[in-house]
């Protein structure tokens, strides 16, 4: 359905592994969204919709598309280090690296990298992969001491691209994660209480109201 081709057993296995790896991953941003939405006792369609909105952001599930764009922009193995230096000089983030929890290489990235290699062995190599490996090496030299290593999105895009489903990275991620979001929905309902965090206001008190046209 993703590329209008019948997969062989190997491709089916690769895709299955990807879906399993992405299915659930504790309290990430989209799962948190799903739980907050679930806690209002709305329906599962609304829960999944709110989680998808969160997943699509480039700091979350949208990162793998940005990784592919970045590898295309780098264009050659020789350009990896000049590209990285320019990005770091402008304080830009390198997509597919860093994680709030993992301060080592994301274990899912290691599995996806192996899958990517198997895919390239079977279907033919991809320059983007050589660029990615060099980028991982260069980033670990420059940012490894700050715990910034490849996350799940770094190699997943390469796998999906080789499987010819380029524009569907976030939907594929969502297909997998629906299982986790709905498991959290059921768990939330077992002891539900609506999420209602407090906030700490640190601004000025007793400010006069100024009509919008006078501001």
Ligand X SMILES: CC(C)(COP(=O)(O)OP(=O)(O)OC[C@H]1O[C@@H](n2cnc3c(N)ncnc32)[C@H](O)[C@@H]1OP(=O)(O)O)[C@@H](O)C(=O)NCCC(=O)NCCS
Supply the minimum distance, in Å, between the C-beta of residue 107 and ligand X.
Answer: 12
Residue 60 bears catalytic tag: no
97 sits near ligand X (criterion: CB under 6 A): yes
- Kindly tell me which residue out of 14, 70, 98, 136 binds ligand X, with binding defined by CB under 6 A: 98
Instruction: Considering the candidates 22, 106, 153, 184, report the single residue annotated as catalytic.
Output: 153
Supply the minimum distance, in Å, between the C-beta of residue 6 and ligand X.
Answer: 31
Give the contact letters, 33-72, x = binds to ligand X (CB under 6 A), - = no: --------------------------xx--x---------
Torsional class of 44: left (φ above 0), alpha (ψ -120 to 50), beta (otherwise): alpha
Three-class DSSP labels, 87-128? HHHCCCCCCCECCCCCCCCCHHHHHHHHHHHHHHHHHCCCHH
Please list every residue from 115 through 154 that binds ligand X, using CB under 6 A: 146, 148, 151-153
- Strand, helix or coil for residue 23: coil
- Kindly tell me which residue out of 48, 74, 80, 94 binds ligand X, with binding defined by CB under 6 A: 94
Which residues is 150 bridged to in the sheet?
97
* Cα separations in angstroms, 92 against 20, 86, 95, 120, 169: 31, 9, 9, 30, 23
108 sits near ligand X (criterion: CB under 6 A): no
- Of 96 and 180, which CB lies nearer to ligand X in the complex structure? 96
Residue nearest to ligand X (CB): 98
CB 136 within 8 A of CB 154: yes
81 sits near ligand X (criterion: CB under 6 A): no
CA distance 166 to 158: 9
**Among candidates 22, 68, 42, which has minimal Cα distance to 165?**
68
**Among candidates 31, 86, 93, which has minimal Cα distance to 66?**
93
Supply the minimum distance, in Å, between the C-beta of residue 189 and ligand X.
Answer: 27
96 sits near ligand X (criterion: CB under 6 A): yes
14 sits near ligand X (criterion: CB under 6 A): no
- How many residues sit in the footprint of ligand X (CB under 6 A)? 16
Residue 106 bears catalytic tag: no
- Of 134 and 153, which CB lies nearer to ligand X in the complex structure? 153
CA distance 168 to 2: 8
Residues that bind ligand X (CB under 6 A): 59-60, 63, 93-100, 146, 148, 151-153
Catalytic positions, written as ranges? 99, 153
């Amino acid at each position: 359905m993703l590329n209008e081709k019948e997969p062989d057993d190997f491709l089916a296995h690769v895709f299955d592994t990807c879906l399993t790896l992405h299915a659930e991953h504790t309290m990430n941003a989209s799962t948190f969204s799903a739980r907050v939405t679930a806690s209002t006792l709305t329906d599962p369609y609304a829960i999944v919709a709110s989680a998808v909105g969160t997943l699509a952001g480039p700091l979350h599930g949208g990162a793998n598309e940005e990784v592919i764009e970045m590898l295309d922009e780098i264009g050659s193995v020789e350009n990896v280090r000049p590209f990285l230096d320019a990005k770091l000089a402008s304080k830009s983030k390198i997509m597919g690296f860093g994680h709030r929890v993992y301060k080592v290489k994301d274990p899912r990235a290691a599995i996806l990298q192996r899958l990517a290699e198997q895919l390239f062995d079977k279907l033919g190599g991809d320059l983007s992969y050589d660029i990615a490996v060099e980028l991982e090496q260069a980033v670990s030299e420059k940012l490894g001491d700050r715990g910034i290593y490849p996350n799940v999105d770094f190699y997943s895009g390469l796998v999906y691209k080789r499987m010819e489903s380029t524009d569907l990275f976030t939907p594929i991620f969502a297909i997998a994660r629906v299982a986790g979001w709905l498991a959290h929905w059921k768990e939330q309902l077992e002891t539900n209480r609506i999420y209602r965090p407090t906030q700490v206001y640190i601004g000025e008190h007793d400010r006069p109201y100024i009509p919008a046209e006078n501001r």
